[in-house]
Structure 1
Amino acid sequence: MSKPFAFLSIDAASRRVSLDARDPAFYRDPNPVYAALHAHCPTFYWEEQKQWYFTGYDQVNALLRDRRFGRQILHVASREELGMAAPMPHLEHFDAAEAWSLLELEPPEHTRLRTLVNRAFVSRQIDRLRPEITELANGLIDRFEKDGKVELLAALADIVPVTMIARMIGIPDAMGPQLLKWSHAYVRMYMFGRTEADEYAADRAAAEFADYVRTVIAERRAEPRDDLLTHMIHTEHKGQLLTDDELISTTIVLLNAGHEATVHQIGNAVRVILDSGLPPQPMFADEKATERTVEECLRICAPVHIFQRYALEDVEVEGIPFRRGDKVALILAAANLDPRKFDDPLAFRPDRDEGANLSFGAGIHFCIGAPLARLELNIVLPLLFQRLPGLRLAQTPVVKDVYHFHGLERLDLEW
């Protein structure tokens, strides 16, 4: 039994791991733990979570694409067959909002919904937003540049992603703060160690969020505009229009996924760059250098660490038998640190060029907003370091108490 950290024990022979995800020494910096797992037990049964986890790059990449696994299970088996508990009444609104979520569906429904929204998120469409993102980011920096200090998350990181995804969908900028509140409450449902209070708060947020989206749908039906919501309302797929429930779920997931991870990643990336002690100028010397720096930040400090899949049939992986309905978990952030894929994986190397990271997933559920997130990061990070020379940490940032969404509580900077 190996015990490289006080909160971690690894039994490589049985592939059993005990790990306290609530220990600050873990969630503040999971990378050394991921390195220990790669060294001793890259595929393991996590005792506290009662589930199998995969960390190897090749395994995670393959399982994300493996059609024997999926994000939903009730399209192939009933709750009774699987021994699943009934839905919880106090999550009625949350479950309704999730019912048609792109993140949770499998084909053919996933294909139909994704086809309708995909056109807005392809790289050539997203690249048209470059001037608008640049103007927004510069305007925000203008507000605090002369102060010599800033809390970056509230002053910029929270604002750019939510504003841009809301504008694309057709929701006014003024709704940004409310969207953030709903989103923060909503995503706590996906955190380890969520409480009953979290569940009630998420259900309230889902109810309010859905009601608001319903009013905007009615407005767009009466008065169409050149925005994504109007496009979703009026575009047919094989003779079918989206229902209101499908429109609400899709809009909520796009708003949540379209900014939550990017907010975290702006903070994560700035911190990693400053912590490295490396001069930022070469990292942003040109477009290619900037792209590599952004990808290295995504690799070494991914904002979302885990995605789960259901076995859609009885299947064996690495000698482990899974029954239909069993859940497996894929640690994307650990796959990004696999020493068989990346040389010296815990080192931040902004010029690294060793292949794609898995921070946006892979397969049919590859993050639809990846081109938008990448563009925002490729614009915002160089601007910050160019406009604020001498940028440095004013104090050690505090990591949020939520594994497996990795982000900062606040990021105090000075220059």
Structure 2
Amino acid sequence: MLDTTDTGFIDDPYPTLAALRAECPVLWHDDWGMFLATTHSAVTATLKSRDFGRIWSDFEPEDQMAQVNSLHRNQLMENEPPAHTRLRRLVAGAFGRGHVERMRPRVTALAEELIDAFEGGDIMSQYAEPLPVFVIADLLGVPRTDHTDLRRWSQAIVHLYEPSTTDATKAAAAQAAEEFSAYVRDVVAFREQHPSEDLITDLLTERAEGDRLSEDELVATVVLLLNAGHEASVNAFGNGLVAALEHPDQWRRLVDGTVDVVTATEEWLRFDAPLQLFERTAVADTQVAGVPIAEGQKIACLMGSANRDQGVFGGTADEFDLTRDPNPHVGFGLGRHFCVGAPLARVELQASIATVVRRFPALQLTATRRRPTWVLRGYEAVEVFSA
């Protein structure tokens, strides 16, 4: 049904996803032992339903994966109310203090600084990857100079989200989690003594004012924000840029200003989704699209499939159209787990797209190399040059 290791599927999963949508809105996957939500309506219903939740299951062996498990158990993405409510309130409250809008000019300035230094070649390593890492580092209050380690640790941990993992993947994630956690604890200890205008200081302040945020929860929250705060942004930029350059008519619309960057960004997120799967567990006997799902059974929401559903996006669902409006994609999720960092991700994408278009209107694609993963869908390299 779905072989996520097949190179043909990784290169272009959308014909297979279309076939699944045509078969049924909700299907059973024997190999994964869970249901698949294939259509926009089934994905939306699942993500909005209180009958489903993010129920974390520890990785084994516990002695090796203890820190990995701690990072997941103690962060909002892997919890349901009341723990999720409390953690999200703390993080959303800090984001709501003007951090995102205050960072907008800094994001734009950083994009311009990075593109000034770009002379052609791989735009991912020179521009797309450092930009969101620097942004989230500034937001949290950690040094930009540590971006290489932050990126390396993040990559090792997020590879666990693929449907199948190996012993080597687990070992690399375990080491990264230990190093990442120790790094964050040092930063937290420093900020306790030297408060500043950053998100870590805000989270510490919230804790000092009577909330029950533990040290493990604080560390897990910071690691989550560093991971989620740049992984999706990097992949969204690369996937969208390749699509735009492979559709010269759409690229010209950006260059000549016939489509605004805000509208274009939503298609950037929809067309080739950087996160292809969200998993949920039934917390009660329920159903989706008329299919019974028992308490404890899992369902995988196929986000990339939902974003290509002709029932919602019409006959142009498989076309890259930067003028698409409205654009009800599910790129940031829905329901109580809607991405708390969505406003920042949009600011980053808008700034990075606008800067590249303005500086390199004649940009051309020369070569690409995809990451060998599907759930986290993106490019390792995107080689370009300006004519």
Q: TM-score, structure 1 length as denominator?
A: 0.88
The aligned amino acid for 2:34 is Q
State the distance in 1 between where 2:250 and 2:273 align: 22
Higher mean alpha-carbon deviation, 156-165 vs 119-128, is at 119-128
Question: Are positions 1:41 and 2:24 aligned together?
Answer: yes
Change (3 A) 1:377 1:123: farther
Structure with the larger helix share: 2
Aligned to 2:146: 175
The aligned amino acid for 1:348 is F
Residue 263 (structure 1) shift: 0.6
**Candidates 105, 109, 124, aligned match of 2:79:** 105
Aligned to 2:253: 282
Higher mean alpha-carbon deviation, 116-125 vs 291-300, is at 116-125
Residue 277 (structure 1) shift: 2.1
Change (3 A) 1:19 1:73: closer
Change (3 A) 1:286 1:124: farther
Residue 73 (structure 1) shift: 6.3
The answer on whether the counterparts of 1:161 and 1:263 sit within 8 Å (CA) in structure 2 is yes
The aligned amino acid for 1:380 is S
Change (3 A) 1:53 1:123: farther
State the distance in 1 between where 2:112 and 2:209 align: 43
Aligned residues: 385
Residue 386 (structure 1) shift: 1.5
The answer on whether the counterparts of 2:253 and 2:259 sit within 8 Å (CA) in structure 1 is no
The answer on whether the counterparts of 1:120 and 1:126 sit within 8 Å (CA) in structure 2 is no
Change (3 A) 1:86 1:26: closer
State the distance in 2 between where 1:368 and 1:31 align: 27
The aligned amino acid for 1:40 is E
Structure 2 unaligned segments of length 5 or more: list them.
none
State the distance in 2 between where 1:218 and 1:287 align: 50
Aligned to 2:226: 255
**1:126-275 residue pairs with structure 2 within 5 A?**
126-144=100-118, 147=119, 149-236=120-207, 239-275=210-246
The answer on whether the counterparts of 1:283 and 1:351 sit within 8 Å (CA) in structure 2 is no
**1:55-70 residue pairs with structure 2 within 5 A?**
55-70=38-53
**1:112-127 residue pairs with structure 2 within 5 A?**
112-122=86-96, 125-127=99-101
State the distance in 2 between where 1:235 and 1:316 align: 39
CA RMSD of aligned residues (A): 2.0
Aligned to 1:293: 264
Change (3 A) 1:206 1:86: closer
Question: Are positions 1:312 and 2:283 aligned together?
Answer: yes
State the distance in 2 between where 1:71 and 1:276 align: 38
Higher mean alpha-carbon deviation, 315-324 vs 174-183, is at 315-324
The answer on whether the counterparts of 1:19 and 1:47 sit within 8 Å (CA) in structure 2 is no
The answer on whether the counterparts of 1:121 and 1:372 sit within 8 Å (CA) in structure 2 is no
Change (3 A) 1:191 1:86: closer
State the distance in 1 between where 2:121 and 2:101 align: 29
Question: Are positions 1:21 and 2:4 aligned together?
Answer: yes
State the distance in 2 between where 1:308 and 1:372 align: 23
State the distance in 2 between where 1:219 and 1:228 align: 14
State the distance in 2 between where 1:276 and 1:85 align: 42
The aligned amino acid for 1:70 is G
Give 3-state SS (helix, strand or coil) of 1:330's partner.
strand
State the distance in 2 between where 1:66 and 1:131 align: 38
Aligned to 2:302: 331
Q: TM-score, structure 2 length as denominator?
A: 0.94
Change (3 A) 1:221 1:287: farther
The answer on whether the counterparts of 1:53 and 1:328 sit within 8 Å (CA) in structure 2 is yes
Give 3-state SS (helix, strand or coil) of 1:192's partner.
coil
Aligned to 1:6: none
Give 3-state SS (helix, strand or coil) of 1:197's partner.
helix
Residue 109 (structure 1) shift: 0.9
State the distance in 1 between where 2:28 and 2:240 align: 31
State the distance in 2 between where 1:44 and 1:301 align: 22
Structure 1 unaligned segments of length 5 or more: list them.
1-17, 75-83
Residue 261 (structure 1) shift: 0.8
Question: Are positions 1:356 and 2:328 aligned together?
Answer: yes
